[in-house]
Structure 1
C-alpha cells in the first residue's frame, strides 16, 4: 500500500481559496498512491482562532467539494485533514473528512479532545462524540486529530473497533515537537498499528508549526519523517505487518483494563 502524507505550509498571506486550489493540485499529483493524508485545519491554520467563525463551512461546503473532486481525479483514498465545520444548529466543529477514490465521502470525524484549556478551540468548537473507523481495501483506518494524540484511551477504542492504521492530522506547535514524535511512536507501539501523523508547516497566528510529519510502523520504527517545511512523504506500507506484529508479540491479548 502506497501512502502519501502531504505536509502543507500555511502562509497567512495566501487566501483560503488559493490554498484550497493549491492543495487540490498537490492531491492530484499523488495519483498512483492508495492513500493520501492532509493536516488539520489547513484552510485556516490550527491556531487562527479568530478565523474559525468567518471561514467555517457546512460539511458539504467548498473544501468538501474540492477534495472530493481531487480524490476522484487522483483515484486515491483521501483523508482531507480537517475543516472548521458549521453544523446546521450553528455549532462549530473541527471535522475531518475521508473520501473514497470515487470521490464519495466515506466518513467524517468531529474532534473529541479540543485544545485550549478553556480558551481557543476548547470554547469555540463543539466536542465530537463518536469514534470512527473505516475499512479500506488494504487496511482498516481509525481517525483522530492532533490533541487526541495525548489520550491513549481513544486509540484503544479505535483498535477495539478494528483499526490497524491510525490517521492523525495535526497543527502541532514547534515548541512541543518532541512530544509530537514521541506520542506518535507511542501510539504505534502500544496499539501495534501503523501511524500516519500529518502536521503543518509555516506559522499560524504567530505560532510556528512543528512540521515533522511522521510515518511509524507497528513495531515503532520510523519509516519516514518530514522536515520543517512543506513536504510530501511517500511510503510503501505492508498492511500484513500489523497482524504479524500482533501475533509475534501478542501484548494486546494481555490487556486487563
Structure 2
C-alpha cells in the first residue's frame, strides 16, 4: 500500500478557510495513494489558542465536508489530521478524523493526553477517554495525536486492539525535535507496527514547528522523512512485514505484564 504524509505549513498568514482550500487541493493530487495524512490542528493552529474558539466546528463542519470530498475525489483513505471540535455542550476537543475512499467518516478520536501543564490545551480542551482503531482495506489503523507519543500505555492499548499501522498527526515544537525523532521510532519498534507521524511545518502562536514528518517500519527504521518546510513524503509499504517481523522477533508473544485489552470504538 502507498502512504503519503502532507506536511502542511501552518502560519498566521492564512485563514482557516484558505488552509482548507489548499489542503483539499493537495489531497486531491494524491490519486493512486491508499492513505494520506495531514497534521494536527492545521485549520486553527495548534498553538494559536486565540483561534480555537472562533475556528471550532463539529465533525460534520466545514473541514470535515472539505476533507470528505477530497478523499472521495482522490479515492484514498484520508486521515485529516485533527480539528478543534466543539461538542454539543460547548466543550472543545482535539479530534482526529479518518475518512474512507468514499469520503465516509470511519474513525473519530478525541486526544486523550492534553498538553500544556495546566495551561493551553490542558485547560481549554476536554480529554478523550477511548482508544480507537479502524479496520481499513489495507490493515487495522490505530489513532493517536502528538503529545500521546509520550504515553506508551496508549500505544500498547492500540496494539492490543489490533493495530498494524498507527497514525500520529502532530504540531511538535522544533525545540524538542530530538524527542520527536526518538519517540516515533520507539513506538513503532516496541509495538512492531508501521508508524506514520505527520507534523506541521512553519510557525504559529509564536511556536516554530519541528516538521520532520516520518514513515517508520516495525523495525524502527525510517523509510521516508521530510525536512522543515511544506512537502509530501510518500512511501510504499508492505503490510505483510508486520506479521513477518512479529514472527521473526516474537517479543510481543513473550510479554509477561500485559495490560487488559481495551474496549475499542
Matched, 1:58 2:58: yes
Map 1:14-163 onto structure 2 (within 5 A): 14-163=14-163
Q: C-alpha distance in 2, partners of 1:151/1:256?
A: 19
Q: C-alpha distance in 1, partners of 2:153/2:128?
A: 15
The one-character-per-residue Cα deviations of 1:73-99 (angstroms, maximum 9, x if unpaired) are 000000000000000000000000000
The corresponding residue for 2:212 is: 212
The corresponding residue for 1:173 is: 173
Shift of 1:11: 2.2
Shift of 1:123: 0.4
Q: How many residue pairs align between the two structures? A: 257
The one-character-per-residue Cα deviations of 1:186-241 (angstroms, maximum 9, x if unpaired) are 00110000000000000011100000000100001100110000010010000000
The corresponding residue for 1:239 is: 239
Structure 1, gaps ≥5 residues long:
none
Q: C-alpha distance in 1, partners of 2:189/2:58?
A: 36
SS class of match (1:252): coil
Structure 2, gaps ≥5 residues long:
258-265
SS class of match (2:253): helix
Following superposition, which runs of at least 4 residues in structure 1 exceed 4 angstroms of deviation?
A: none
SS class of match (1:18): helix
Q: C-alpha distance in 1, partners of 2:52/2:122?
A: 12
Q: C-alpha distance in 2, partners of 1:180/1:51?
A: 25
Q: C-alpha distance in 1, partners of 2:227/2:204?
A: 17
Q: TM-score, normalised by structure 1?
A: 0.99
The one-character-per-residue Cα deviations of 1:34-54 (angstroms, maximum 9, x if unpaired) are 000000000011111111111
